Structure 1
Amino acid sequence: MSRRVVVTGLGCISPLGNSVRESWLNLLNSKSGLVNLKSLPEYESDYKPFIKSVPESLSVGKAYFTTTHKDLFSDEDERRLAKFTKYAIGATYEALENANLLKKNTLQIDETLVDLNRFGCIVGSGIASIDEIYTSSIKFHNEHKRVNPLFIPKILTNMAAGNISIKFKLKGPSHSVSTACATGNNAIGDAYNFIKLGMQDICVAGAAEASLHPLSLAGFVRAKSITSNGISRPFDEERSGFVLGEGAGIVVLESLENALKRGANIICEIIGYGISSDANHITSPLPDGTGAQRAIEMAIGNSRRSEIKYVNAHATSTVLGDRAESNAIRNAIFKDTDNDNHIKNEIYVSSNKGSMGHLLGAAGAVESIFTIKSIQKNIIPHTLNLNKLDQEIQESSEGMTFVKESPKEIDNLEMALCNSFGFGGINTTLLYKKYRP
């Protein structure tokens, strides 16, 4: 069984805004969601003795989440739920509302529109609740205090999916993905496949991350992944690593049949998903990008490469990663094939991470939302802080235009790719397309 899968709802909490609309507009208007580490009050109290392990010059992509819906979190929720789960629920609420699935002024899904037994939830996280792990460990070891009975329910990666299912009564497949920085795309790709296979008719899918903490920052600094100057500059010749961020992205996916039956507003269609492994190194990509290339080629499948106009790149602002991805894009898009002899069309490439930093597990989900908005609005966001393209990338990227300085409007953005890659060598790619009946 294979069915067409469409996108009908979007929800997002990011360093750029508290909603999809706010985040998207700030992205297009060159706003930065990065703030200096010193400006975050939680780092100046409980963790002050430990902040010395993190350079003070660092910037972070902090998501400031507030909700206008008074019933979204009860007092019990505030006590029981970890921050990453709250992010996920907040983004899910916006996505469900955007998809016109909720009864007016309630958290209840209208059961006349969908079968909740066929409504799935596939939401993951890269690190989940590092704050809870750290705090509980310190109290347990130094203060000899009993562990909070909510400790395990707060730190399990699947608690975002579980609590979303409980709050919105979603009784279909409940599934959690944790594949480092590929988590968001991986979750959306799994949801896409579950619908195609007939395991569910509709699904909320994506990821949430709330890992801004001295311990995680110190770990990434030691892994030499974080930039020391606090500036995220994907593809730029002076890039030196990523800026850590947090947030959540959720999309509502449906079978085309289900969407048409309930009269949904169809935003776009997913027509391809690719996933592969470098099988090379836990943190470094294959320099020639062949692992990522296989994921891109799998996502493209039999689609016409000439219709793909945009690639929303993973591009974390690391020297090796950005070069490898550039190689992967060019070799996958412009390769010779029996059906399309050496495509000559122009491909636009940009990264959202210059504006909001790297949201780790949530990156692909939020960037997928921006990719979908690009298709919907026929506009490609630029890469903030890309001043001068890396020379090696420039020399090996014939046919690719890296969008910088300002957004690029085009006549018809038919198809776009979104890449996400993660530690462990995992590569994921999603192919989005304008919906055509």
Structure 2
Amino acid sequence: MQGAGHRIAITGYGVVAPCGVGKEAFWKGLLGPGFTGSRSIELQDWDPLPYFDSPKDARRSDRCEQFALAAADEAIAQSGTLPYDPSRIGTIFGTGIGGLRTLEEQVIVRVEKGERRVSPFLVPMMMSNASGAAISMRYGFQGPAETVCTACAASTHAIGNAARLIAWGRCDAVVTGGSESAATITALAGFANMTALSSTLVSKPFDATRDGFIMGEGAAVFVLERLDMAVARGAHIVAEIVGAASNADAHHITAPSPGGVGATRCMQLALEDAGLQSSDIKQINAHGTSTPLNDSAEAQAITAVFGDRSVPVVSIKGVTGHPLGAAGALEAAAVLLSIEKSLIPP
């Protein structure tokens, strides 16, 4: 990051996704066939109990939070114990909606059984900051604990914000990423009625016949550290974050600006922040939602920044579906696995 005092290393990461729980299972899933036949892709037979001290604690956590804690468990197991002042370890987390499942379930309870039967844990379970707070409390991280709630960009924003906390000297380490589990009956109805979901029940980013996305869910968590401190303690360096950017196209709440001008400028800003040229980029991980508007605008933005170069462009949503606020985190995990495996998933 240009002008910053510290470089940023990734020393651990963990993944929970419908195509696989854990990095290796996730990677195997990315290399498998795409998902078809339903409006949503969800984890089957999800068991949160291994990540909690008791069944009661698991029941008092929304599925979104359960995913976050499971992914954090894997990430911190890889990075190892962070030997820093707890007040200099932050938690910056992203989600688009938070505990929507719990909210919908408790609305049904209120309607069917009355107000006295609504869970006293409703509010702490549905709050958007519940996942990040749970990670902070579980591991005793006492630095900045913040939640980014910027729709489908939430976890990407969180990772960039976390990196800046280290780059500019506020934190020595930050646990970051995103989680989402919002494929409820009501949410699916809302997305369907705004014609965002695929009517053919197929997610096919950038395909000429694409007609919408399939909802997904999941989480990915990353441990970021000051590079020099990570090296000094002998940590394994997975990758380095060299630049990040964000902006607004100020166009529409759900549609990208025509021609992808906002995305074009954002990528240019990220390259400037990293001190790189477009010719330095070897792979592009696209948002690629499979909607007509997004993919068209994104393709135009990529062309505007990278020209006619044959840079591989990847979207994993044919396998993962669209996990809303967790999208950027799962995509970042896919990039790290591509680097580790020297292979780009189809």
TM bin, normalised by shorter chain, reads over 0.9
Query: Which structure's residues are more often helix, by fraction?
Result: 2
Question: Alignment length, in residue pairs?
Answer: 340
- 2:74 equivalent in structure 1: 94
CA distance in 2, matches of 1:63, 1:148: 25
What corresponds to 1:313 in structure 2? 286
Q: CA 1:284–1:115 in 2, change beyond 3 Å: closer, same or farther?
A: same
Cα deviation, residue 138, structure 1: 2.8
Q: Is the 8 A contact 1:5 1:255 kept in 2?
A: yes
Q: Could you tell me which residue of structure 1 aligns to residue 234 of structure 2?
A: 263
Kindly indicate whether the alpha-carbon contact (under 8 Å) linking 1:268 and 1:376 is maintained by their aligned counterparts in 2.
no
Deviations 1:100-120 (A, max 9, x none): 23xxxxxxxxx6x33322111
Measure how far apart 1:75 and its partner are.
Answer: 2.8
Deviation at 1:135, TM superposition (A): 2.1
Alignment of 1:323-334 (within 5 A): 323-334=296-307
Distance 1:236 1:73, change over 3 A: farther
Secondary structure in structure 1 of the residue aligned to 2:176:
strand
- Map of 1:150 onto structure 2: 121
Note the alpha carbon deviations across 1:171-215, whole angstroms, 9 max, x for none. 111110110000110110110111111111111101110111111
2:158 aligned counterpart, secondary structure? helix
C-alpha distance in 2 between matches for 1:69 and 1:160: 16
Is contact 2:278–2:305 with CA below 8 Å preserved after alignment? no
Partner of 1:3: 6
Please state how far the C-alpha of 1:381 moved relative to its aligned partner. 1.3
Coordinate RMSD, CA, aligned: 1.8
Pair 1:376-2:340 in alignment: yes
With CA pairs under 8 Å and 6+ residues apart, which has the higher RCO, 1 or 2?
2
Q: Which aligned pairs between 1:207-356 and structure 2 lie closer than 5 A?
A: 207-301=178-272, 302-334=275-307, 345-356=309-320
**CA apart distance, 1:351:** 0.6
User: Can you list the C-alpha shifts for 1:242-271, whole angstroms capped at 9, x where unaligned?
Assistant: 000000011111111221121110011111
For 1:214 and 1:66, the matched residues in 2 are separated by 19
Match 1:121 to one of 91, 95, 98: 91
Query: Residue 276 of structure 1: CA displacement?
Result: 1.1
- 8 Å CA contact 1:314–1:351 kept in 2: the answer is yes
Paired with 1:71 and 1:273, the residues of 2 have a C-alpha distance of 32
Matched-pair contact (CA < 8 Å) for 1:61–1:244 = yes
Give the corresponding residue for 1:337.
none
Shift of 1:327: 0.8
TM-score by length of 2: 0.93
Structure number with larger C-alpha Rg = 1
**TM-score using structure 1 length:** 0.75
* Residue identity in the other structure for 2:321: G
Structure 1 position 35, deviation (Å): 6.4
Aligned to 2:168: 197
Specify the code of the residue in structure 2 equivalent to 1:115. Answer: D
TM-superposition CA deviations, 1:397-430 (whole Å, max 9, x none): xxxxxxxxxxxxxxxxxxxxxxxxxxxxxxxxxx
How far apart, in 2, do the equivalents of 1:69 and 1:9 lie?
Answer: 22
Return the offset for 1:333.
2.3
- In 2, are the aligned partners of 1:61 and 1:357 still within 8 Å (CA)? yes
Question: Is the 2:68–2:179 Cα contact (8 Å) retained in structure 1?
Answer: yes
SS at match of 1:347: coil
Q: Secondary structure at the match of 2:69?
A: helix
Q: CA deviation at 1:69?
A: 7.8
Whether the aligned pair in 2 keeps the contact of 1:82 and 1:129 (CA below 8 Å) is yes
Asked whether the 8 Å contact 2:98–2:128 carries over to 1, the reply is: yes
Partner of 2:28: 25
Q: CA deviation at 1:66?
A: 4.8
Structure whose residues are more often strand by fraction: 1
Q: 1:62 aligns with which of 23, 42, 53?
A: 42
Q: Which of 183, 187, 190 does residue 154 from structure 2 map onto? A: 183
Superposed displacement of residue 278, structure 1: 1.3
**Secondary structure, in 3 states, of the residue corresponding to 1:60?**
coil
CA distance in structure 2 between the aligned counterparts of 1:138 and 1:80, rounded to whole angstroms:
17
Query: What percent of counterpart residues are identical?
Result: 36
Superposed structure 1 runs of 4+ greater than 6 Å apart: none
Relative distance call for 1:278 and 1:59 in structure 2 (3 A) is: same
Question: Bigger shift: 58-67 or 8-17?
Answer: 58-67
Deviation at 1:141, TM superposition (A): 3.8
Q: Note if 1:174 corresponds to 2:140.
A: no
**Contiguous gaps of at least 5 residues in structure 2:** none
